[in-house]
Chain A
């Protein structure tokens, strides 16, 4: 089961909990297709072609993926493709496309469990999403996602998320810095410099309320307000910006629907800008700031307490 959906897959999915319980309907079928893949209209090493009917993702030397109706993923593997490389794109843009088709927001985020809810970290590439989640995981917080966090509303319009893949993808230096144990390389060909790091803590595979989002931004100088809440149009913009595989939204002309989703989400949860500086990059300080925020204490009191240390 992944993202709360029962999956029947011909492709082994590393890191996805499996179940011997075959009760219940299957939500998503992943199979290896035979014959020729559908033809795409454009050429290139990476081709993403989305329509309201189905989506085609073509990754040269890896595989072609067809994602249809939010229920089926068909894969035409390239002759020389490795299982790892197929998984990168299956559990990346192909899965994000599936989320979009099913009305779930694939937020480009890492996430941990704080208290009974989820705290997510978003930001541009290199902002430190994985490292922040890894740092907090090392302090005992349950890791539930790195890269994609599937966000949805329950029947009471409360936003929340299922765990996705409980593993980080980190370069060797942050792994050493955080005293984590590296697993296998992400890929021998595509992502040679990163390693999987599995969560230090296990947890339940259940939907949890999304309680807050931190937008990570790097800055070189110390800010007196490392955490500030952003609201209104800025908050909505942040969520739209951090949508995984936004190309789907554009190509299927669903921006209005997507804007509604992000606006609704921004009206229900606080979104904070977390300025990462040489000072906040200290593990203990970052941990303290996040922990006090999660406990509902104001930024001012958190800063005052920290400065008095």
Chain B
């Protein structure tokens, strides 16, 4: 289960390439392709190294005009989508 205390990191089987402002990602494991941009891309760039979710949200609320609860909800939702697609891993976190 993904929480604010979870440490999130990229799945090593994902390869990415720049397309101007977009980022194209390919999961080697599934063969699926993804495209992300804007804030989603910024989040992906931020988790180049394993990062605690709460730290990520702190950085985002500092950069954008958004209240913390909204940022938490949207960021967790996005990270969960990445997790469901096998694009990220939870390195360490509380048990489900």
Contact = CB atoms under 8 A, between A and B. Distances in A.
B15 interface: yes
A7 B35 CA distance: 40
Pairs A-B, 7 closest by C-beta atoms: A233-B35, A232-B35, A263-B17, A233-B33, A237-B33, A259-B17, A260-B17
A236 interface: yes
Contacts of A267: 19-20, 22
Interface in B2-34: 15-20, 22, 24-26, 28, 33-34
A107 interface: no
A87 B18 CA distance: 38
Given A233-B24, A236-B24, A263 B19 contact: yes
A179 B20 CA distance: 45
A37 B70 CA distance: 66
A232 B19 contact: yes
Interface in A197-252: 232-234, 236-237, 240
Interface residues of B, number: 14
Contacts, number: 43
Main DSSP-derived SS at the A contact region = helix
Given A233-B33, A236-B24, A266 B15 contact: no
A240 B28 CA distance: 13
A233 to B, nearest CB: 4
B18 A232 contact: no
Contacts of B19: 232, 236, 263-264, 266-267
A262 B34 CA distance: 14
Band of interface residues on A: 10 to 19
B33 A234 contact: yes
A256 interface: yes
Nearest to B20: A267
A259 B28 contact: no
Contacts of B35: 232-234, 236
Nearest to A266: B19
A46 interface: no
A259 B22 contact: no
B20 A259 contact: no
A233 B17 contact: no
A83 to B, nearest CB: 39
Interface string B40-82: 0000000000000000000000000000000000000000000
Nearest to B17: A263
15 contacts: A232-B22, A232-B24, A233-B25, A234-B33, A236-B19, A237-B33, A240-B26, A255-B26, A255-B28, A256-B15, A259-B26, A262-B17, A263-B19, A264-B17, A267-B19
A132 B19 CA distance: 30
Listed residue (B18, B25, B26, B28) with the most chain A CB atoms within 10 angstroms of its CB: B26
